[in-house]
Amino acid sequence: MSFSKQKILLAVTGGIAAYKALELTRLLKKQGTDVRIIMTKSATAFVQPLSFQALSGHLVHCELLDTEAEHAMGHIELARWADVFVIAPATANTLAKCAHGLADDLLSTVYLATTCPVYVAPAMNHVMWNHPATQANLKILQNNGVNLIAPELGEQACGEVGFGRMAEPETICQRLISDLAMPKILKKLNVVITAGATREPLDPVRYLTNRSSGKMGYALVVAAQQVGANVTLISGMTYIQPPQNCHFIQVETAEQMHAVVFETIKNCDIFIGAAAVADYRPVQMRDEKIKKNADQITLILQKNPDILADVAALDSPPFTVGFAAETNDLAKYARDKLVRKKLNMIAANWVGREEGGFERDENALDVFWQDGQKTLAMTEKSELAKQLIALIAERFYTPH
């Protein structure tokens, strides 16, 4: 399969695994891609830029302020040129800089300026890889839509054995080819996704909310973008950075989310309600903080609008997908919600168990539609999102 139209920007950082990036460059060129190279200063201590220049056929970029670039803005030109940005090897230092938005060299500046898919192939000592700071930085990057090509188990340059070896060039190349070959099944379709938890204020200090982290909804945004969709993300409260290239709208309450959904639903082809929307809100928000005087207090709550049901009830509704988090009788409650709210599809998951659910990086789904169902096994939410988007696309294009 030829990928001659694909432009890959490969960034090489300072580690002994830098030599593997030479083979990766060769393999990518063999696939017909156009490869350009960024090297950090420390990377040049391991491999000479001339080697990458010979393999790629292009000058190697090392300096942030490139006087030969148009307007001396080489980082912007490279960021706009690339279809895919790959950092291999990615050191712990590079992961940290990208995670926290530092921009003190060409690589980190290009990372902040790019809008194309980003992949990292980490390489480091196994103790560094397992350090909580490295894992926390990795989670930030993944929540921001960065794709991980995980390191492998094996003997390292220091003589120790553990996870931290950069994935082999063949593995990285195959992953990139597979993702680049992914059919754009939702190309030019408009997808609206809600995610995260809404919260309902009781007073200026307190509010009612739930345990949703927003991870699944945000992963769905990235997965939908990867197959060509134009995505609007309407997000409740999360601690996750919004994925790149989506139209992002932040809300707090269920009523706000309802209003924004109906402001953006025009021309929507697919609506995915992954947000954990509060069912009830206080009838009245107190102007002042509620004092801890009485042993008991009474809160009067009223029902919030049902976003999913209202979207499905439109005269010409989009393909509407709901979510159901259940502690018991999952299939029964999910199917009831599917029929009662007139949804096209519903994805249900267990909560309150040891695996999956709220605030976890993994999940499993049982997906139901009018005349069928499919179980998606426990896996990382980023991978689960790809499977669900593929299933949604399959059902979207199936005549009804």
Which residues carry out catalysis? 158
Task: Report CA-CA distances (Å) from 278 to 107, 209, 285, 348.
Answer: 42, 7, 15, 17
Residue 292 CB coordination number (10 Å): 7
What are the CA-CA distances from residue 273 to residues 83, 195, 330, 387, 392 (Å)?
30, 7, 18, 17, 13
Query: 3-state SS string over the chain?
Result: CCCCCCEEEEEECCCCCHHHHHHHHHHHHHCCCEEEEEECCCHHHCCCHHHHHHHHCCCCECCCCCCCCHHHCHHHHHHHHCCEEEEEEECHHHHHHHHCCCCCCHHHHHHHHCCCCEEEEECCCHHHHHCHHHHHHHHHHHHCCCEECCCEEEECCCCCEEEEECCCHHHHHHHHHHHHCCCCCCCCCEEEEEECECCEECCCCCEECCCCCCHHHHHHHHHHHHCCCEEEEEECECCCCCCCCCEEEECCCHHHHHHHHHHHCCCCCEEEECCECCCEEECCCCCCCCCCCCCCCCCCEEECCCHHHHHHCCCCCCEEEEEEEECCCHHHHHHHHHHHCCCCEEEEEECCCCCCCCCCCEEEEEEEECCEEEEEEEEEHHHHHHHHHHHHHHHHCCCC
C-alpha to C-alpha distance for 379 and 215, rounded to whole angstroms = 13
Gyration radius of the chain's alpha carbons: 24
d(CA 346, CA 367): 6
Is the Cβ–Cβ distance between 114 and 145 less than 8 Å? no
